[in-house]
Structures are given as structure tokens and as C-alpha cells.
Amino acid sequence: MSLLALLDYASVFIFALTGALVASRAQLDLVGFAFLAALTGIGGGTLRDVLLDRNPIFWIEHPTYLAITSLAAALIFLTAHLVESRYRLLIWLDALALGVAVAAGLGVAIALAHPPIISVLMGIVTGCMGGLMRDVVCNEVPLVLKQGELYVSAAFAGAASGVITASLGVQSMGVLGAAMGVTLILRAGSLAFGWCLPIYKHEPPKN
């Protein structure tokens, strides 16, 4: 199995775990767990493949991805009650999934010889859209839009780092490692130390 395929499988599994955790917080049944796990796990990659006109879409070509999301759903369904803070676990798993998925999306675009800006955007789409779909469907404030937190900006920085690394002639392992590492460092720093971007603080209009 190639490194890129391994990253794709890992991102699907970890994001599926976060979808199932959200289902547990909403007290859904097993079907709800499976649905949210699949939506979160394959959502970003599906949009990436549609935008890149990549046929067949990755989970249609390899249905094993659906088995992985179902496994993640069952695992959380059976064990979520053992976790003291499911939200804390959720945001840290999501951070890990973000880093892996950004690298996977970037790697797919680079492998298809797309321009750097498209490769960066595909890294962001793959990393962010599955979680966004999960939170919107469950009527929660999307993690990607939490005030001031580094999320989309972390994905952008990670994907851009990968593209810059590739332009220097570094091999694919180094490119994907740079993308994942920068994304994880920035997202983890935002969660652990409060790293953030400035937010808009202008007074609202009076009428």
C-alpha cells in the first residue's frame, strides 16, 4: 500500500470516529452513528474527487472505505460511554484527522499534476469539508468557524508548506510529512495554547 493510500484510509477512519462521537453526543441510534461516520469520513474526499473530475470517486472504486467508516461507528457506539469528555476527545481527534486529510488531499492533487494553487485548495477541501458537513447536519457550530481558532488557516498553511516543499524537489514522503506536520502543529497550538488570528471587533451599525 502506498503512503498516499495509507493517509487516505487513516483520514477516513479518524474523521469517521469524530462523526460517530457527534452522534453519541446527540444520542442517535446505530444507523445514525453509521450515517454521520460515513458523512464525515468520506465527505471531504468525495468533494475533492468531484472537483478534480476524478472517476470513479475513491470510495466507489474501493468500497473498503465504507467498511472502515462502519467499523468506526460501531467502535464508538460500544465505547463512547467510557470516555469522560467526549467533546475534548472529539476536538483532538478532529485535529489529528485534519492534518492527515490535508496531506492526503494535497497528495492526490499533486499526483494528478494540478497547479500549486489547486493542490493547496484540494488539501483544504479534503481536510475541512467532512467536518463542516458533520457539524451542519447536527446543528452544531462548525469547528471550522470557531471564533479566532486556527482551522482553515492551519489547513492552508499545511497545504502551502507541502507545495513549497515539493517545489524544492523533496520526495513525496517529505512533502506529505510537511503538510501534515504544519497543520497539526498549528491546530494543536490553537487548542492547547489559544493561538488564533485577530477577529473583527468593529462596533455593529446603530440602525
Q: What is the pLDDT of residues 112-146, one digit of tens each?
A: 999 999 999 999 999 999 999 999 999 988 988 88
pTM score, two decimals?
A: 0.93
Q: What band does 101 get if pLDDT is binned at 50, 70 and 90?
A: very high
CA dist 12 to 9, 105, 139, 196, Å? Answer: 5, 11, 22, 27
- Rg of the chain (C-alpha set): 17
Domain ranges of the chain: 3-193
Q: What is the pLDDT of residues 166-201, one digit of tens each?
A: 999 999 999 999 999 999 999 999 999 999 988 887
